[in-house]
Structure 1
């Protein structure tokens, strides 16, 4: 057990594409730790009636009453509310449901929405149920205000600078949208590659240990962009996605605090992260366009987080792919709210975490009921292979890997092609089913991994 823990520490020190430990801000600039706030509103607290609604009423309200109270504030009061710690905690830690927010937002007049967006962007930008394009505008306003504020501390400025850099996209790549921004403590953020308001296929990528906004947000967003490119290349193979939507979007979701050396052996952050992931997916389910096909791709400790969420009864996904997973207390794929047959597990050669079952059951075990990706064949490419197999714990979503290609196929509804690659005749003597030529739609950059 101790050997596995040591491997877990060592293998997770780097992101999927980052090879350095995140820079530590100067000690004098370190932000105060922020405790996770438990839900403060077991039932909506009604806003005062028969008189003027003020900031105090909003700060102590919950559910629809919280939203209605916001809508009743004037410009000055909205500004004060957005800076009130209690309001921030409600929005970030205990918000109304996405369905409640969506109904509220649709019911507002245009000038009411404009006032909220102008005076309380940090509130509007982090409410699941508000259109993602609106949230992007709001969160970018918060971002730029923070960067321009002389009172912003060095640690927070570094975090915001990383987010700003993460929003830059190459010509020809999809627009990037800032859909979550929480500047408290070590921060939380989520950036979408592509339009979440209209995409037929949405893939949410959940990171593992030692990921921080300040240390890895730019690289993590670029990794999401690599997956988006791979999906775009495979678009001719895609099956029909969600309803009337079109195109793909990939979310670099650093929406929870990941473990560090002080809490690496605990499941507490996974459990808190699972609740936040449930809310993020809830928002996608409530968008005005038909809900997308929803794919979750989770690496390392993020896979534990995702499986907790999908076993909670509060979240569903069309597909789940876990990579380098240390396991969870979920015993079977049947216990996950994922479409039957659409749970995939990848373990690379020389990955000490994959298959360890450190946090419980190994999702790649024979009894779990998942499809195990054909990734662990060895360091050297097999003769004739178009893609190389990943090596180690942090190579899964690198361009040119079989794992990135498989994840992209799953994300466009072609898990059947992935299963063809791994299906073996254990009982009837059949050989491995060969891949069809149209599975290998490869771009030059796939064979030239990003530095």
Structure 2
């Protein structure tokens, strides 16, 4: 955004303003240079575009303290400006201001949806490294950061990993992108279910996402055309998942749906003009979260694949902002959650309008030499060699037409999915750890 020739308007914050963004009539004029009179109290009281303008108008020493102010961080993490507002604001800043914000307020900048992913990756990595070096950090925070550090280690057969979300408050939140979100033709966001925490499972969860990335990459020769090249998968632990103390509640699914909407909104803004094919892959309680988000009217996707779903209040696939015929449901053999309908309508039930995957295993009809095993239990869906992993990858690259349909007699689930009380396949020893 260029400065106009109009005379500067001097405010209480002593900042020079330009005309508001014509594409976002609800925004305030954009700041392009600072006078340093804004205080942290001003910033803490701001919301929306004024929050961003106040951030850039902070004096250097005050800006450095913004990342340590709980009120300022809470706004960035929990009640941030809309991704479109953030994208417009960021692109209108001078390069010097962008650099200053990235270096002096990395906690805030690294978690604003609409800021370029490369900037967020650098900012969050700086926060991670500083936290690991902090001699005064408590043991729980060190353990959390250690998991994130391990999750960022690139596997020999994987793509580059970048940390696009890092929230160390409480149980923590994090998201790691595998591949290039700026250019990928196919972007898949994987949403975890109950018992997943940054401290307990971030490295394993990211490696699982990497396995999906590898499966999708091998399907490049049969992928449907899309804008961009290559694939990217996001290990999105961007919401707090339930534990045994709150597993009966939908509150975390509701708040998680809002966060997922923002994450997808950020991707849409960054990829403006060259939208990727976007797939949501959601497991267990994460499927309830994703179904809520896609029924909200604030988020859309090209495909949705739910695995081991306990259901939601969504009654029909037509209520979801998903491309026609692109809602898929998988239930593994001896999964006590899949098909339970615990939180409402089972998305794999007759009449919902989804395609129920046949996960019995066997030989890939497209490659007679490639055999897949049947997934077993609640946590096996994206493991190497499973029929479910292969089907999820096919759907993600736009070839859902190649998956085997497990529907029997006009709709509903096929054989092998049981409805039972939680068993050894549902709760694992590593899941039972103290939570905040």
TM-score range, shorter chain: 0.7 to 0.9
- 2:401 is aligned to 416
When the two structures are aligned, how many residues end up with a matched partner?
377
Provide the C-alpha distance between the structure 2 equivalents of 1:112 and 1:373, rounded to a whole number of angstroms: 50
- Runs (5+) with no aligned partner, structure 2: 1-25, 363-367, 411-436
* Change over 3 Å in CA distance of 1:197–1:408 after alignment to 2: same
Provide the C-alpha distance between the structure 2 equivalents of 1:385 and 1:296, rounded to a whole number of angstroms: 26
- 2:269 is aligned to 286
- 1:328 is aligned to 312
SS at match of 2:175: strand
SS at match of 2:311: coil
1:194 aligns with 2:186: no
1:276 aligns with 2:259: yes
* Change over 3 Å in CA distance of 1:82–1:47 after alignment to 2: farther
SS at match of 1:386: strand
Which stretch of the first structure deviates more once superposed, 368-377 or 59-68? 368-377
- 2:348 is aligned to 364
Q: Does the Cα contact within 8 Å between 2:357 and 2:406 map onto a contact in 1?
A: no
- 2:245 is aligned to 262
Q: Does the Cα contact within 8 Å between 1:47 and 1:66 map onto a contact in 2?
A: no
* Change over 3 Å in CA distance of 1:392–1:115 after alignment to 2: same
- 2:43 is aligned to 58
The 5-angstrom pairing of residues 271-420 of structure 1 reads 271-288=254-271, 290-376=274-360, 386-418=371-403
Provide the C-alpha distance between the structure 1 equivalents of 2:163 and 2:255, rounded to a whole number of angstroms: 22
The 5-angstrom pairing of residues 2-17 of structure 1 reads none
* Change over 3 Å in CA distance of 1:198–1:384 after alignment to 2: closer
* Change over 3 Å in CA distance of 1:59–1:331 after alignment to 2: same
SS at match of 1:322: strand
How far residue 171 of structure 1 moved from its aligned partner, in angstroms, is: 2.8
How far residue 72 of structure 1 moved from its aligned partner, in angstroms, is: 1.1
How far residue 246 of structure 1 moved from its aligned partner, in angstroms, is: 1.5
Q: Does the Cα contact within 8 Å between 2:217 and 2:231 map onto a contact in 1?
A: yes
Provide the C-alpha distance between the structure 2 equivalents of 1:425 and 1:387, rounded to a whole number of angstroms: 21
* Offset from partner CA, 1:128-159 (integer Å, 9 cap, x none): 00111110000000001111111211000100
SS at match of 1:192: strand
- Runs (5+) with no aligned partner, structure 1: 1-42, 428-451
- 1:182 is aligned to 167
- 1:23 is aligned to none
- 2:148 is aligned to 163
How far residue 79 of structure 1 moved from its aligned partner, in angstroms, is: 1.1
SS at match of 1:87: helix
Q: Does the Cα contact within 8 Å between 1:47 and 1:69 map onto a contact in 2?
A: no
Provide the C-alpha distance between the structure 2 equivalents of 1:391 and 1:179, rounded to a whole number of angstroms: 32
Provide the C-alpha distance between the structure 2 equivalents of 1:99 and 1:47, rounded to a whole number of angstroms: 14
* Change over 3 Å in CA distance of 1:126–1:206 after alignment to 2: same
SS at match of 1:265: coil
User: TM-score w.r.t. structure 1 length?
Assistant: 0.80
* Change over 3 Å in CA distance of 1:353–1:61 after alignment to 2: same
CA RMSD in angstroms comes to 2.2
SS at match of 2:371: coil
Provide the C-alpha distance between the structure 2 equivalents of 1:80 and 1:45, rounded to a whole number of angstroms: 24
